[in-house]
Chains A and B, each alone.
Chain A
Amino acid sequence: MSARDVIVIGLGSPDRGDDAIGEVVADRIRAAFGGMVTVTTREDPTALVHTWEGKRAAVVVDAVMSGRNPGTVRVMEAGAKAPPLPTHAFTASGRGGSHAFGLAGAVELSRALDTLPERVAIVGVEAGTFAYGHLSVPVREHIDAAVAAVADVLAQEGIKEESCVSEPSPR
């Protein structure tokens, strides 16, 4: 496994409360791993389809709402080997991203196009607020847990200190 085959993507708006968790965790991973893994951020879920194309594994960090306590960190598998995600709520409600297209829509669109990475690990952090402003206290207190969850996935993918990615982050 080459680190070149793996990408970490922080998804979400940096201005909207806990939706910034994707960017915050991505920054921490970038700082901790240096150039050892490609790390990038995206606000537009449709951009995910291009961003992870050609990668064997992607780790996507995003805020989620599932009714759990704010700050709860979960890792969900959504790659080519995982069962399809329920896209209807994302694609139809308009709550998944700009113009009714969210993370699940991006996963399933990539699956339909046969460009979905073998593994897509979604590190979801339960959000408490999407109001304009900073992370909520519960989510801020769980940043370390989210970073650790991403690091665990990277370790499973064999990302070692000595491996190195020299290519610039894709747009």
Chain B
Amino acid sequence: MTHQLKDGGQVLNVGMLARVEGEGGMHIEIRDRQVVDVKLNIFEPPRFYEGFLRGRKYTEPPDITARICGICPVAYQSASTEAMETICGVTTTDAIQDMRRLLYCGEWIESHALHIFMLHAPDFLGYESVIEMAKTHGDVVKMALRLKKAGNDLMEVVGGRAIHPVNVKVGGFYRMPTVAELQGLRPDLERGLEDALAAVELVAGFDFPDMEQTYTYVSLRHPQWYPLERGTEVVASNGTRFPVAEIASHIKEFHVEHSNALHATFDGGMYFVGPLARYSNSFDQLSSRCQEAALAAGLAETCRNPFKSIIVRCVELAYAFEEALRIIDGWTDGHPPSVPVEPRAGEGVGASEAPRGTIWHRYRIDADGIIEDAQIVPPTSQNQASIEHDLRTAAQQWVDLDDHTLTHRCEEAIRNYDPCISCATHFLDLRVERS
């Protein structure tokens, strides 16, 4: 909707931004063809999860924090279990870590398949929604639903439920799946890998606007594998690297007036977490097949064009299927599902790579395991500043487009992030003001 201002300028008002989850507002102000102000307004009231956790037992965060989001609950469970185990001085078994990684593969598959095809692809193919897209790209949508189902099934077998898994605890799991249960998933996972590799090729054919991100890419790093359920270090594209335990001294949250979600800086500067950061910081840890697929799709070993995040997500989707198959093929029955974790006073951090970027939790507990302090830092809140930066860049770069096209381009710039705004908001009201 376009409104004429008294000074001759214009306000473009999009009541709802489709294909994201969450509520927020966007204000873009243009004067004399110059973008003078951009704000991502997150106005949903704070959800007080960190407050809820104080006074609760150290065993409760995996179940409580999983409820923060229906699409990335495993990210919260992984970060919280790792933090508590770190505080309590417990190291779990390789089998437990494998199963955590397998569960996380399910979440990546669910989340990436949903965003790639049902939320993001319509932007490139010129449709308002996946429903419209299905009328002419039925095979693609059916493939997307197959992929999503494979992720859901994996989550159900390992986590007990497709949404908000209930099988995760501090120290491991309540029950380990059997070889027979996991092997039952294999046919769909094999087909999923083929589908995902085909998807890399498919999305590589989309037209991508030219745009480059310049800020620091931050992600986890593990010596053995591409970052997923945990890392040992935090690495940044500017060469900075440090143990995960030190993350709170490098990332500082702060409040801005126009958002109820805290912004954050990395060593005092703007940064980005998410698939592009993981890919660019850890390309060497992808499988050779995924590396080849990425390069064949036209990506370099780093990717700075946020619109091409859809290709990177497809590469990561294929990788998640590969990892799931690898873990299932190596699985044997009889592993203890958990290790005992006795409380001890202390403070610690856990971090994992949610589908949309690094998430970290910091807790302090007393000798009885009662939580005295909690800090939860999800990826979308960390990315608010870079979203605003991308919007400023996009609005300025395409300032001469008509209002409708510019507005749509700005919406696309937001969807590049796959924002899990439900962690902070539920509604996006996009306004572009011109004069």
Residue ranges of A at the interface with B (Cβ–Cβ < 8 Å): 13, 15, 43-44, 46-47, 49-50, 87, 91-95, 97-101, 105, 108-109, 112-114, 132, 171
Among A49, A87, A92, A105, which residue has the most Cβ atoms of chain B within 10 A?
Answer: A92
Given contacts A105-B131, A113-B138, contact A13 B164 (CB under 8 A): yes
CA distance A59 to B358 in the complex (A): 41
Are B114 and A46 in contact, with the CB atoms below 8 A? yes
Task: Name the residue of chain B whose CB is nearest to the CB of A112.
Answer: B134
CA distance A95 to B173 in the complex (A): 31
Is B119 at the interface (CB under 8 A from chain A)? yes
Is B362 at the interface (CB under 8 A from chain A)? no
Given contacts A15-B164, A93-B427, A108-B131, contact A49 B145 (CB under 8 A): yes
Instruction: Given A99-B71, A109-B134, output 15 extra A-B contacts at Cβ < 8 Å.
Output: A47-B162, A91-B18, A93-B16, A94-B422, A94-B426, A98-B21, A98-B70, A98-B114, A98-B163, A99-B70, A99-B114, A99-B118, A101-B118, A112-B131, A171-B149
In this complex, how many residues of chain B approach chain A with their Cβ under 8 Å: the count is 38
Is B135 at the interface (CB under 8 A from chain A)? yes
6 closest A-B pairs by beta carbon, nearest first, are A112-B134, A92-B18, A98-B70, A94-B21, A92-B16, A43-B163
Distance (whole angstroms) from the CB of B398 to the closest CB of chain A: 23
CA distance A87 to B130 in the complex (A): 11
- What are 20 A-B residue pairs whose CB atoms fall within 8 Å in the complex? A13-B163, A46-B145, A47-B148, A47-B162, A87-B131, A91-B19, A91-B129, A92-B16, A92-B18, A93-B427, A98-B21, A98-B114, A98-B163, A99-B71, A99-B119, A100-B18, A100-B20, A100-B21, A112-B132, A112-B138
CA distance A47 to B156 in the complex (A): 12
A43 contacts across to B, CB distance below 8 A: 161-164
CA distance A164 to B129 in the complex (A): 40
B148 contacts across to A, CB distance below 8 A: 46-47
CA distance A92 to B142 in the complex (A): 21
Are B115 and A44 in contact, with the CB atoms below 8 A? no
Are B20 and A113 in contact, with the CB atoms below 8 A? no
**Chain A binding surface, main DSSP class:** loop
B153 contacts across to A, CB distance below 8 A: 171
Among A47, A94, A109, which residue has the most Cβ atoms of chain B within 10 A?
Answer: A94
A114 contacts across to B, CB distance below 8 A: 138
CA distance A169 to B70 in the complex (A): 24
B134 contacts across to A, CB distance below 8 A: 109, 112-113
Is B22 at the interface (CB under 8 A from chain A)? yes
CA distance A112 to B70 in the complex (A): 26
Is B211 at the interface (CB under 8 A from chain A)? no
Task: Name the residue of chain A whose CB is nearest to the CB of B155.
Answer: A44
Are A109 and B162 in contact, with the CB atoms below 8 A? no
A109 contacts across to B, CB distance below 8 A: 130-131, 134, 141
User: Among B20, B132, B163, which residue has its beta carbon within 8 angstroms of that of A44?
Assistant: B163
Among B145, B148, B421, which residue has the most Cβ atoms of chain A within 10 A?
Answer: B145
Distance (whole angstroms) from the CB of A65 to the closest CB of chain B: 15
Are B22 and A113 in contact, with the CB atoms below 8 A? no
Are A132 and B67 in contact, with the CB atoms below 8 A? yes
Distance (whole angstroms) from the CB of B156 to the closest CB of chain A: 7
CA distance A171 to B130 in the complex (A): 23
Is B352 at the interface (CB under 8 A from chain A)? no
Distance (whole angstroms) from the CB of A97 to the closest CB of chain B: 8
Segment 126-180 of B: residues with Cβ below 8 Å from A:
129-132, 134-135, 138, 141-142, 145, 148-149, 152-153, 156, 161-164
Task: Name the residue of chain A whose CB is nearest to the CB of B133.
Answer: A112
CA distance A94 to B114 in the complex (A): 13
Are B141 and A113 in contact, with the CB atoms below 8 A? yes
A47 contacts across to B, CB distance below 8 A: 148-149, 152, 162
Are A171 and B131 in contact, with the CB atoms below 8 A? no
User: Among B19, B142, B152, which residue has its beta carbon within 8 angstroms of that of A100?
Assistant: B19
B131 contacts across to A, CB distance below 8 A: 87, 91, 105, 108-109, 112
Are A50 and B422 in contact, with the CB atoms below 8 A? no
B67 contacts across to A, CB distance below 8 A: 15, 132
A112 contacts across to B, CB distance below 8 A: 131-132, 134-135, 138, 141
CA distance A87 to B18 in the complex (A): 12
B129 contacts across to A, CB distance below 8 A: 87, 91
CA distance A101 to B134 in the complex (A): 14
A171 contacts across to B, CB distance below 8 A: 149, 153, 156
Are B18 and A99 in contact, with the CB atoms below 8 A? no
Segment 182-197 of B: residues with Cβ below 8 Å from A:
none
A46 contacts across to B, CB distance below 8 A: 114, 118, 145, 148
Distance (whole angstroms) from the CB of A78 to the closest CB of chain B: 14
CA distance A50 to B23 in the complex (A): 29
Interface digits, B4-28 against A, CB 8 Å rule (1 contact, 0 not)?
0000000000001111111100000
Distance (whole angstroms) from the CB of B357 to the closest CB of chain A: 16
Are B21 and A44 in contact, with the CB atoms below 8 A? no
